[in-house]
Amino acid sequence: MSIQESLKIIPQNGENEGIAVVEFDLVGEKVNKWNSATMTRFKEILGELQKSKYKMVLFKSNKPKIFIAGADIDEINSMTTKDQYEKAVGEGQNIFNMLEDLPMPTMAVIHGACLGGGCEMVMACDYRIASDASETRIGLPEIKLGIMPGFGGCVRMPRMIGLQASLDIILAGKSVNAKKAEKMGLVDRSVHPSLLMDQAFRYAHELLRNGAKKRRKTFRPKGAMNQFLESFAGKPLVFSQATKGVMKMTHGHYPAPLKAIDVIRRTYGMSNRDEALRIEREGFCELAQTDISKSLIHVYYLTEMVKKQTGVSNANVKAKDVKHLGVLGAGTMGGGIAYVGADKGIDVRMKDINMEAVGRGMKHASDLWMKLVKRRTINQYDYKQRMSLVSGGTDYSGFGQMQVVVEAIVEDMEIKKKVIAETAKYCRPDTIIATNTSSLSVNEMATAHPHPENFAGMHFFNPVDKMPLVEVIRGEKTSDETVATVFELSKKMGKMPVVVKDGPGFLVNRLLLPYMAEAAFLLQEGMSIETVDKAYVKEFGMPMGPFALMDEVGLDVCIKVLKIFKKSFGARIEMAPCMEKLSTTGRLGKKNLKGFYQYSPEGKRQEVDQTVYADLGLSSPNNPLPTKECIERGVFSMVNECSLALIEDRIVETAHEVDLAMIMGTGFPPFRGGLLKYADRIGTQYICDQLEIYSAKGAARLKPNQPLRNLAKNNSKFYK
Ranges of each domain in the chain? 3-289, 324-502, 509-713
Answer whether 254's CB lies under 8 Å from 292's CB: yes
CA pair distance 571, 258, nearest whole angstrom: 47
Confidence of residue 219 (pLDDT cuts 50, 70, 90): confident
Q: State the average pLDDT over residues 364-373.
A: 95
509-713: which CATH topology?
A: N-(1-d-carboxylethyl)-l-norvaline Dehydrogenase; domain 2 (1.10.1040)
Is the pLDDT at 272 greater than 60? The verdict is yes
Q: State the average pLDDT over residues 697-703.
A: 93
Which is nearest to 633 in space by CA: 698, 555, 548? 698
CATH number for the region 324-502 comes to: 3.40.50.720
Q: Tens digits of per-residue pLDDT, 535-549?
A: 999 999 999 999 999
Is the pLDDT at 378 greater than 70? The verdict is yes
**In sequence order, what are the residues at sequence separation of 6 or more whose Cβ sits closer than 8 angstroms to the Cβ of residue 129?**
107, 108, 109, 110, 187, 188, 189, 190, 191, 196, 199, 200, 203
Read out DSSP for 524-576?
A: HTT--HHHHHHIIIIII--SS-HHHHHHHH-HHHHHHHHHHHHHHHGGG----
Among residues of the chain, what percentage have pLDDT more than 90? 90
Per-residue confidence (pLDDT) for residue 1, from 0 to 100: 45
Per-residue confidence (pLDDT) for residue 596, from 0 to 100: 97
Answer whether 255's CB lies under 8 Å from 287's CB: yes
Per-residue confidence (pLDDT) for residue 291, from 0 to 100: 94
Answer whether 554's CB lies under 8 Å from 591's CB: yes
pTM value? 0.92
Q: Tens digits of per-residue pLDDT, 21-67?
A: 999 999 989 999 999 999 999 999 999 999 999 999 999 999 999 99
Is the pLDDT at 281 greater than 90? The verdict is yes
Q: State the average pLDDT over residues 293-300.
A: 96
Confidence of residue 179 (pLDDT cuts 50, 70, 90): very high
Q: What is the overall mean pLDDT for the chain?
A: 95
Per-residue confidence (pLDDT) for residue 147, from 0 to 100: 97
Per-residue confidence (pLDDT) for residue 585, from 0 to 100: 93
List the catalytic residue out of 111, 364, 459, 656: 459
CA pair distance 550, 532, nearest whole angstrom: 13
Which is nearest to 461 in space by CA: 441, 484, 436? 436
Which is nearest to 597 in space by CA: 610, 609, 586, 580? 609
Q: Tens digits of per-residue pLDDT, 450-509?
A: 999 999 999 999 899 999 999 999 999 999 999 999 999 999 999 999 999 999 999 999
Q: State the average pLDDT over residues 687-701.
A: 95
Q: Tens digits of per-residue pLDDT, 66-84?
A: 999 999 999 999 998 999 9
449 labelled catalytic: no
Q: Which CATH class is domain 3-289?
A: alpha beta
Per-residue confidence (pLDDT) for residue 720, from 0 to 100: 84
Report the range of poorest mean pLDDT among 178-182, 335-339, 579-583.
Answer: 579-583
Among residues of the chain, what percentage have pLDDT more than 70? 100
Is the pLDDT at 205 greater than 60? The verdict is yes
Is the pLDDT at 375 greater than 80? The verdict is yes
CA pair distance 111, 65, nearest whole angstrom: 7
